[in-house]
Structure 1
Amino acid sequence: METGMTVAYELIRSKRRTLAIVIDSEGKCSVRAPLQALLSDIEGFVQEKTAWILQKQQYAAVQKKRQFLVVDGIQLPVLDKRYTLRLAEVKEVQENGAVLLCPQRDSQQALEKWLRGQALLVLQERTAFFAEQMGVTYKNVKLSSAAKRWGSCSTKGNLNFSWRLLFYPSAVLDYVVVHELSHIGNMNHSCRFWRRVASILPDYQVRQRYLHEHSYILQWLR
């Protein structure tokens, strides 16, 4: 499709057989091409994919704007609360009503440490609560820093959850907990699995949709 627009790209040749376009998280476009590919063919390929490239670059730009930066005065969602972050002369993060006092030095590390501690407490409590409701047993609840997974369940019943679930509403965090608990004895996404989820959370699809629409949160504080 002719768009009448051009895009800048980095050409990378290698011992490959096909042309491919890669858009990184910063929106930078690179074209992977075979060693012998003609430049005219490469440019034609890029022109054909221009609309797709621009769409991906626009998405990357939006995601970048959604990044969370630790600066004084920023609003920080924590489950169903919203804190104002204040950099102060404190040694560790302190909660003062709707304000989080955060050390000025190594502020991001200090904030992440506090958030991880809060996340573990909440996830342990909610996992125990739903496991009892569902009549299942599990072994451990641990935190992860996965960039693309909210949670996981091993065949041995070990549960891992992203500590960044703390940035989601509590109803969404509960969905992830129930989702992973539903995998115990059922390591797939069959109809039986989803019936199990729905028996605990009939509105799970609403919560699931929110999770996917806000997947960029997994990139916060990286």
Structure 2
Amino acid sequence: MPDWPPPYTIKKSLNSKRISLRISSSKGLVIVIPKRESQKRAIEFLNSKFNWVQKHLHLLQSKNNLITVPETVFLCSINETWTIDYSPEMGCRAIIGCDEQQKRIRLKGPIEATIPLLKKWLRTKATRHLLSMLEECSQKIGLPYNLAKVRYQTSRWGSCSKAKNISLNCKLLLLPFEITRYVIVHELVHTIVFDHSALFWKEVARIIPDYKALRQQLKTIEQQLPNWVY
């Protein structure tokens, strides 16, 4: 028989008229009781829901097992490897701490709550470096742009509007520098040729003669990225 009862917290609610149970990765098992209800009655209710609690705790654990926190993150474009110290804890607020000097990330909390923090860190890191790479490349090849931002995108590596506003996918920071640079050049060329005509590819080839090989690598490289980025 599993350990019983599992860890839980009791929350008094002004709006609740009856006792209820809630289970989540971020807060664990919570017994919600009306303001004037006793804790003894709350425990009795919990015991009466033994099968329900065991079932949903198992489902939650199975769901969490599909998500893994990496031991390291390799930012290939800038050749940085970050070590991750992860402490999985149910029922607490997820927190993240970063040490730039030691290249170390400390994560604490349930998996489903810490992965979004890791993604946010990646976006912040990518914003700093990708925008710097974009500006440097823009000046070097003589193709100015208007505005630029870095986003967490699922289907595109980058885009450029007719107003010359460029958007870059933060996951580019995980790719080899040559491929990331190709994407940046690709979007900068769109500031003068908006479509993918022969003229567009001629301009790309003028800047990156071997762009076809990089373009081909880009089509399959997403399969090599770690599962936590999705």
Same fold, TM-score > 0.5, yes or no: yes
TM superposition shift of 1:211: 1.3
Letter in 1 for 2:69: V
Match of 1:162 among 169, 191, 194: 169
Partner of 1:114: 121
Match of 2:217 among 206, 210, 217: 210
TM superposition shift of 1:91: 4.2
Partner of 1:63: none
Identity score, percent: 27
Kindly indicate whether residue 133 of structure 2 is the aligned counterpart of residue 129 of structure 1: no
Partner of 1:221: 229
Q: 1:64-119 CA deviation, whole Å, 9 max, x = no partner?
A: xxx97314x2x32212333332226974233454x532221243232222211111
Letter in 2 for 1:92: G
Q: 1:29-64 CA deviation, whole Å, 9 max, x = no partner?
A: xxxxxxxxxxxxxxxxxxxxxxxxxxxxxxxxxxxx
Q: Which stretch of structure 1 is more off in the superposition, 78-87 or 151-160? A: 78-87
Residue pairs, 1:154-193, within 5 angstroms: 154-193=161-200
Q: 1:113-168 CA deviation, whole Å, 9 max, x = no partner?
A: 22111111111111111111222221111122221110000000000111111111
Kindly indicate whether residue 108 of structure 2 is the aligned counterpart of residue 100 of structure 1: no
Distance, in Å, in 2 between the alignment partners of 1:103 and 1:134 is: 40
TM superposition shift of 1:175: 0.8
Aligned CA distance change for structure 1 residues 107 and 130 (closer, same or farther; 3 Å): same
Letter in 1 for 2:130: L
- Counterpart of 2:123 in 1: which secondary structure? helix
State whether residues 77 and 168 of structure 1, in contact with CA within 8 Å, keep that contact through their aligned partners in structure 2.
Answer: no
Distance, in Å, in 2 between the alignment partners of 1:218 and 1:138 is: 32
Q: Which stretch of structure 1 is more off in the superposition, 117-126 or 207-216? A: 207-216
Letter in 1 for 2:73: L
Distance, in Å, in 1 between the alignment partners of 2:67 and 2:187 is: 27
Partner of 1:83: 82
TM superposition shift of 1:220: 4.4
Aligned CA distance change for structure 1 residues 205 and 137 (closer, same or farther; 3 Å): same
Aligned Cα root-mean-square deviation (Å): 2.5
Report the TM-score, using the length of structure 2 for normalisation: 0.59
Q: How many residues align?
A: 153
Gaps spanning 5+ residues in structure 2: where? 1-65, 89-94
State whether residues 150 and 170 of structure 2, in contact with CA within 8 Å, keep that contact through their aligned partners in structure 1.
Answer: yes
Partner of 1:39: none
State whether residues 69 and 221 of structure 1, in contact with CA within 8 Å, keep that contact through their aligned partners in structure 2.
Answer: no
Partner of 1:69: 68
Aligned CA distance change for structure 1 residues 135 and 147 (closer, same or farther; 3 Å): same
Aligned CA distance change for structure 1 residues 116 and 125 (closer, same or farther; 3 Å): same
Letter in 2 for 1:93: C
